[in-house]
Chains A and B, each alone.
Chain A
Amino acid sequence: MKEDLMDIICCPLDKHDLDLEVDERDDEEVLAGSLVCTECGESYPIEDGIPNLLPPDMREDAPA
């Protein structure tokens, strides 16, 4: 994920801004980390450079 994208992405639930927490980056983009909603506190993981901004109930680990 490129950091200039922060201008246009938001929390899918309440549409508030996200804070970026970087765990790993290369010259061009953030490879691992998380995006945390400044309003509701929900955390969205960035894995392999692709943010997972699915609402939590659609994630892989969501309870059925």
Chain B
Amino acid sequence: MNFDLEVIAQNLPYLLSGVKFTIALACLVIVLGTILGIILGLSKLSKNLLIRYPASFVVEITRDTPILMQMFFIFFGLPALGIRLKTFPSAALAMSLFAAGNAAEIVRGAIESLPTGQFDAARSLGMNYLQTMVYVILPQALRRMIPPAMGLFTTLIKDTSLAAIIGAFELTRAGQEIIERTFHSLEIYLVIAAIYFIICYPLSYYTRKGEKQRVMGF
């Protein structure tokens, strides 16, 4: 077979229009997942059982099942309860929940890794819970959260490709549409892989650098 470069050149603009949706989906998921994840992570550390148990439940379900299954459940299963979402919102919701569950564990891990003396010191200075969190704990915990969070974000960007399976338009779906027209699977999928690589590699490079610095710094 001959490797057809022309088919790549002709269809690159269409692939790039898919990249826009991939990046939009990834950004949406990262923002929603981080906010929800911080709330869930702090809830998991709560002394109140009524807050801690439901939070743990959500975290376990979202972390211990395949993200594809969650997407199917939201896209195909929720209409049974009268909740009908289109493909893109379904993918965004499923991925945000998945991101939140994983972010929650990162938040919890980072906070628990801080010496308890930090809490005690803040409390003995007369700070309340919110002040302790905002001024003492979170700024320190944040430094430890960044490398694993970067790793999570890389995973999320790669996982946006799953949205194509339920039919949401993004990079992978755009590629599938081109292949249905041209039958040049190898070329198109290799280009798609290269585009994901270009997006993900800087993030994972930074993750590794951050992890090394953390080992040195603490």
- Indicate, yes or no, whether A interacts with B: no
Give me the interface of B with A, judged by CB distance under 8 Å: none
